[in-house]
Amino acid sequence: MVTGYLDHLTVERGLAQNTVASYRRDLRRYVEFLDAAGVRGMGEVAESDVAGFLTALRTGDDGHPPLSATSAARAVVAVRGLHRFALLDGLVTDDVAHEVRPPAPARRLPKAIPVEQIEALLDAAGSTEGPRGLRDRALLELLYGTGARISEAVGLAVDDVDTGEGPGHATARLAGKGGKERIVPVGSYALRAVQDYLVRARPALAAAGTRGPRGGSLFLNARGGSLSRQSAWSILRSAAERAGLAGLADLSPHTLRHSFATHLLDGGADVRVVQELLGHASVTTTQVYTLVTVDRLREVYATSHPRALS
């Protein structure tokens, strides 16, 4: 039965060899679980057996360590597929695994770093002498000041930043996922850094190209071409090293976006406003940041309220 199902996945569904191998291991463990429970055939399996297998995956036993929610979910998907295959093949009259849902993986909280570390990072980015230091400071200031994705920032044209009437009125036009554009405010620090870069650094970078300026990209590399995402990563890593933050786990350009959202919510911003600024299609995506701020609220409460802790 299991062999027929795996052949079906390989030949008719075209699943990758690694996926089929994982399903084979999961189903071998499932068959062993059923044998130990005295179940001798697919027709004897009850929904409680499938649910019991899921519990065994998560708790582990003498021969197997507990599985993560992701690994257990994969095993349950394999088992559900096996029972569905048996039903369609006429081997059973009921799909007893249909109502057993795979466990939801733990929600991974976004990484954010404190404002003090953000400031150290930005100062370090601008510490390099010459046009590159001005460019690097402007890039990181813009990432943190607007919550832009790295692809949105390096994709900016000069004309996409509108200084308006100065601080408090400047905006940037960001091209988000699916080509969806949004207009976001640019704070005074980011605006000043971008203006310094445009006046004192970008012309020199543009002139460094053998053919002169190429296109209207806001951020240029040393050859006068558009700055790449890989170069932006390198800029962040170099700044982190100079700021003494190289040891931070998972530090990336996206960290600045996460910090932007978290710091806004910590400061009292409405989650729907943050949703618009980040360009999320659904507020549900943005609400993961509220989990971070709840932790912050607990911390403040525990250290501030006279009867919070014994």
Please give the positions annotated as active site.
149, 177, 254, 257, 280, 289
Pairing of strands 181-185, 161-162: unpaired
- Tell me how far apart the alpha carbons of residues 76 and 26 are, in angstroms, rounded to a whole number: 8
Paired tokens of 302: 């525990």
| DSSP-assigned letter for residue 67 | P
- Tell me how far apart the alpha carbons of residues 281 and 272 are, in angstroms, rounded to a whole number: 11
Do residues 145 and 186 make contact, with C-beta atoms less than 8 angstroms apart? Answer: yes
C-alpha distance across the termini of the chain, in Å: 60
- Among the residues of the chain, which ranges form H helices? 2-11, 17-36, 47-59, 69-88, 115-125, 131-146, 150-154, 188-200, 202-208, 229-242, 253-266, 271-278, 283-286, 288-304
CA 155 to chain centre: 20
Burial class (CB in 10 A: 0-12, 13-18, 19+), 142: buried
